[in-house]
Amino acid sequence: MQRIVFVLGLCGPGKSACAKDLATQGFRNFDEKITGKSVNPYWQDEGYALVMQAVIEGENCVVTDVAFYAEQIWQQVTNELKSKRRDVKIEWECYDSESEGLEKANCNCIHDPERTPQIRDENLR
């Protein structure tokens, strides 16, 4: 069965690591950190269209994007995915401040060598 996994969370708790792990298992990786593209359907970016096309084509996908914290967006995306492909299994994994710890997320942001100082400061805010 085709799967799409949405990994949610603050900046720094391990979303990208989770996405990379799933990518090694054959998932197409739509990690906003790697692609530089949001998949938020409300933003004018090609990321969302690319995810929808991958779903239509039957690919397993992993998506990270902070935008999916909003329940309204969850519902919209779930409805659209199901309209494109009824058999897709949609999973939501949430790395929140209680389970992963805000302190840990901030520490990961500070020590991530891939983040520029400007991006790090924005993420910490």
Q: What percent of the chain has pLDDT over 90?
A: 26
What average pLDDT does range 93-121 have in this prediction?
68
User: At 95, which helix (H) or strand (E)?
Assistant: strand 89-95
CATH number at residue 9: 3.40.50.300
User: CA–CA distance from 110 to each of 31, 37, 42, 89 (Å)?
Assistant: 19, 22, 29, 35
- What pLDDT does 22 receive? 95
Cα–Cα distance for residue pair 37/30, rounded to 1 Å: 8
Domain that holds residue 42: 3-124
Count of the separate structural domains present in the chain: 1
pLDDT digits (tens, 9 = 90+) for 18-74: 999 999 999 999 987 666 666 666 666 777 888 889 999 999 999 987 667 677 778
What is the widest separation between alpha-carbon atoms in the chain?
A: 43
Q: pTM of the prediction?
A: 0.73
